[in-house]
Structure 1
């Protein structure tokens, strides 16, 4: 019954911690770990001994990350992501190693902690970018690709850990050769099975049209590959990650991810709560200043390295700052590295606790830090503008497309050319109404330039960008971007410098509608509401209602919605 009791308490702790974290708009994994720290201090050791469930959580976590891996997306920014990402890992690891030595850690512990600190959280990054609607921006694409490279870099790191344990003993060269040979066999085996066997097995099972069978075969593949990896002396979680990468190329990978996600989330919660068990409150209290100092140093170091590398590849200004702030935190793979090293007896329990604490603190700071990208960039840009040599690294970076002949007046400015802005632009083109697009997605800018459409690359919330597209001479500005904060910034500026310019804004949610009303926007359009209106209209027509009745019903809905 101790196992059942342990699972119950861990599930309860995860629920409490997760709800609390979401209430403060933090990732749930932070709540899991903090609840694990609290419950771990009061629960007896026998109840906390459910590490095998946590190991399953690690396996399923890496399996799902492998499934989500997008090599196509990685290809778009491969230079800065692959070359820059690998350089960043090496630089951060090296400098962190030196700093940790200064703090008095031994060489093995310094190496392990440095490797863990060098990677960032893909999960937290995707969450932040998704919430802000910046996944398809230049900095969003770079950061996501960069994080994917870090995920892939965990493969050699996990292979390196057992080798590290051999230092001080004999036969280190032979062990390195054997470990690399085993890893090569595992990767080659995964590739061969992924091309010749796995797709057919998955397709055969999927043809049975059974969600349960698809879930079972997916879990079997993940656990089976983990078992084979363990047999080769390689981390089981790494084997599951390779299995996920193989499945990511199959047609059914979206369905597999959807089916395995609930099971993964359950065991991952167990994993992060049990990680919290490893954090000693005594270590937190006795090393509090050291933990805070290390977290700050890691964030500053990673941000500085990422910014310099981004600038070297030509991504300066706001994009470079966003990259730096977004990748400054330490990721969930650090937990895997620390726990694996602890299992190999390469690092002490107290140092593991310290490493997890530093990682946790950076994850708590991450969302708050990313909110300061624009204010920080503007402040530094204004300061460095006095020194051209420095100022060029923080310039706004707005860039006109080849067809951006922006010299007319009474034109329309479309901010954002996504699903909404695209249709607005097509309609304006049909009636030969002059317009210019402001877009922060370089791929869209390139497409519009090739299509002969006036476009300017840049952030529409920046005064320089709005002035470049002639905001003071415009007839109207259309806000097709979903980010409410960006909308408010843009609206405030336009109302200040060009009060006669009509503002038409998209509202993403009901709360956005209310906020836009208080800002006195000329016209507010909520796509979801307009879709509902058209559905109602179609239903009433199918029921034989006359035009007047339909118009009255639609009018009533609009009046109700505007209140």
Structure 2
């Protein structure tokens, strides 16, 4: 009886205060998400106000909000639509999360944190919050290509988060980055997704169509939510997030063709529990801990806002999503959430981090969550302003580059053309994997090798260490050169696919645009290979030599890019005058 009373009391306090703050924020014309977070601060245990809800009860109810929000998102993304945005979203997420991991690690080291704490800090700021963005998009009516791109990136980030958790668990527990367990983790994730989607496609659409034919709204609602929780529970049983399972459940239900009816029925239930989720975020904010660790909170908050906007915008643009849409996507994804709490809590549980990282993660999430609705609302005007302020050569290039890639996607290159691209991609991945293996193996064994050299060969520590590092660099050199050469060849191949050479014409008018595309594709390939490689090897390298090397290579390509862009604008002007 006492438990039932506490449950009802907590639910009453949460919904009552949330209702008041929601009304106030709507009157002030501010996003209601902010009102929910303020409500959480009011009913939380860290503020001296005599309205305290039970955190355990609120946390349990907030899980329902996460599941229902993700299920609603899945209803908008049938598996066919997910496959359409998958490649672009996946590459963008890979580039952006790699950049954020490196940035977080670098900031952690500058703040004096240990290498392991810095690794966890990088992972904490790498993954955006699907739940928070979904609610903000729903509230502000964001639709179209921007919504599809952002949600596709979020799903890719969730998959990356699963791998990050596995890697960090291995590193923190002492097993390190063993290739065997890591490969097993990837294989298990792929196997789970393939099995779930295969069986789900056979059962879920047929079941939902049969239920829908009964023309009973209540039955349809109960059946759809039952499928949602069943798949979420299945994902949790296999060690994955309930959010991933709920999203896949929504996608499977969408394959039945009844997604609009189901979305309409689920919406009121979803909104209630989504409100509880955002209240739970506000309850985690402890002003005293924020004041104590303000430097880390400020640094990581700035990294999330600036890093996410930069990484997502660059990645989305390079994969052909247009300048304005890319910038809007970057501004929409500039926050962290539920996976960051999980990763920070994992570090605390494994004693890999101090007790400061969890409150810092919560603070960064709370601040960026407060900023998210405003950034989404202002994203269109900010993107338009950036587009107007770009130098002329970049404006010309951005417009033509996007149209070229859209045409290339629409044309669907023949199998013979794709056959020329696939071996180059495999070579890029192989070269990057070999470089990473050499760096990690050298870092793991350098102490033992130096000790053997000192004892058996009577070498000094400096000489032995220099020989080991020199040997590692010599082994890496051909593969680094291979990355540059293969990326250039890949750029030439893709440029010829986008702008084929006209054999019959004496004058090749596409030569200047093609040169521009070659440099751009080469730059994209170097970044897509270099950033993940940098994120993986940075913890094993002293100082910032890898970052400096990648920065130098990008700078050289940047100079070539600017020259090509200027030449392209000259050709466009000359053609316009003719």
TM-score tier, shorter chain, comes to 0.5 to 0.7
1:128 positional shift? 7.3
1:356 correspondence with 2:359: no
- Kindly provide the CA deviation profile for residues 306-327 of structure 1, in whole angstroms up to 9, marking residues without a partner as x: 3433453466655554444344
Deviates more, 1:164-173 or 1:230-239: 164-173
Give the corresponding residue for 1:38: 42
User: Cα distance 1:102–1:220, how it changes in 2: closer, same or farther (>3 A)?
Assistant: same
Q: The residue matched to 1:49 in structure 2 has which SS? A: helix
1:154 positional shift? 0.1
1:54 positional shift? 2.1
Return the match for 1:95 from 100, 103, 112: 103
- Kindly provide the CA deviation profile for residues 236-274 of structure 1, in whole angstroms up to 9, marking residues without a partner as x: 333223222222222112222222222222222222212
Return the match for 1:205 from 211, 220, 224: 211
CA RMSD of aligned residues (A): 3.9
| TM-score, normalised with respect to structure 1 | 0.59
1:216 positional shift? 1.5
Return the match for 1:169 from 164, 169, 173: 173
Higher helix share: 2
Give the corresponding residue for 1:157: 161
Q: The residue matched to 1:209 in structure 2 has which SS? A: coil
Q: Distance in 1 between matches of 2:339 and 2:240?
A: 13
Give the corresponding residue for 1:60: 68
Give the corresponding residue for 1:248: 254
5+ residue gaps, structure 1: 400-563
Q: Output aligned runs, 1:294-309, within 5 Å.
A: 294-309=300-315
Return the match for 1:14 from 15, 18, 35: 18
Higher strand share: 1
Give the corresponding residue for 2:371: 365
Instruction: Give the conservation status (yes or no) of the 8 Å contact 1:338–1:355.
Output: yes
User: Cα distance 1:265–1:339, how it changes in 2: closer, same or farther (>3 A)?
Assistant: farther
Q: Distance in 2 between matches of 1:181 and 1:284?
A: 40
1:49 correspondence with 2:56: yes
1:208 positional shift? 1.9
Q: Output aligned runs, 1:538-549, within 5 Å.
A: none
User: Cα distance 1:219–1:111, how it changes in 2: closer, same or farther (>3 A)?
Assistant: farther
1:84 correspondence with 2:89: no
Instruction: Give the conservation status (yes or no) of the 8 Å contact 2:150–2:329.
Output: no
Aligned residues: 391
Q: Distance in 1 between matches of 2:258 and 2:382?
A: 43
1:87 positional shift? 1.6
Deviates more, 1:157-166 or 1:115-124: 115-124
Give the corresponding residue for 1:342: 345
- Kindly provide the CA deviation profile for residues 388-425 of structure 1, in whole angstroms up to 9, marking residues without a partner as x: 666657889999xxxxxxxxxxxxxxxxxxxxxxxxxx
Give the corresponding residue for 1:528: none
Q: Distance in 1 between matches of 2:402 and 2:68?
A: 43
Q: Output aligned runs, 1:481-496, within 5 Å.
A: none
1:36 positional shift? 0.9
1:261 correspondence with 2:264: no
1:330 correspondence with 2:338: no
The one of the two structures with greater contact order (alpha-carbon pairs below 8 A, sep at least 6) is: 2
5+ residue gaps, structure 2: 404-578
User: Cα distance 1:69–1:22, how it changes in 2: closer, same or farther (>3 A)?
Assistant: farther
Give the corresponding residue for 1:238: 244
User: Cα distance 1:288–1:380, how it changes in 2: closer, same or farther (>3 A)?
Assistant: same
User: Cα distance 1:45–1:324, how it changes in 2: closer, same or farther (>3 A)?
Assistant: closer
Q: Distance in 1 between matches of 2:327 and 2:360?
A: 28
Q: Output aligned runs, 1:69-468, within 5 Å.
A: 69-70=77-78, 73=81, 80-107=88-115, 110-120=118-128, 135-136=143-144, 141-142=145-146, 144-169=148-173, 173=178, 175-176=181-182, 179-288=185-294, 290-313=296-319, 318-327=324-333, 329-330=334-335, 334-339=337-342, 341-342=344-345, 345=349, 350-369=356-375, 385=391
- Kindly provide the CA deviation profile for residues 188-241 of structure 1, in whole angstroms up to 9, marking residues without a partner as x: 332133221112222222222211111212222122222222322333333223
Q: Distance in 2 between matches of 1:30 and 1:394?
A: 36
Q: The residue matched to 2:273 in structure 1 has which SS? A: helix
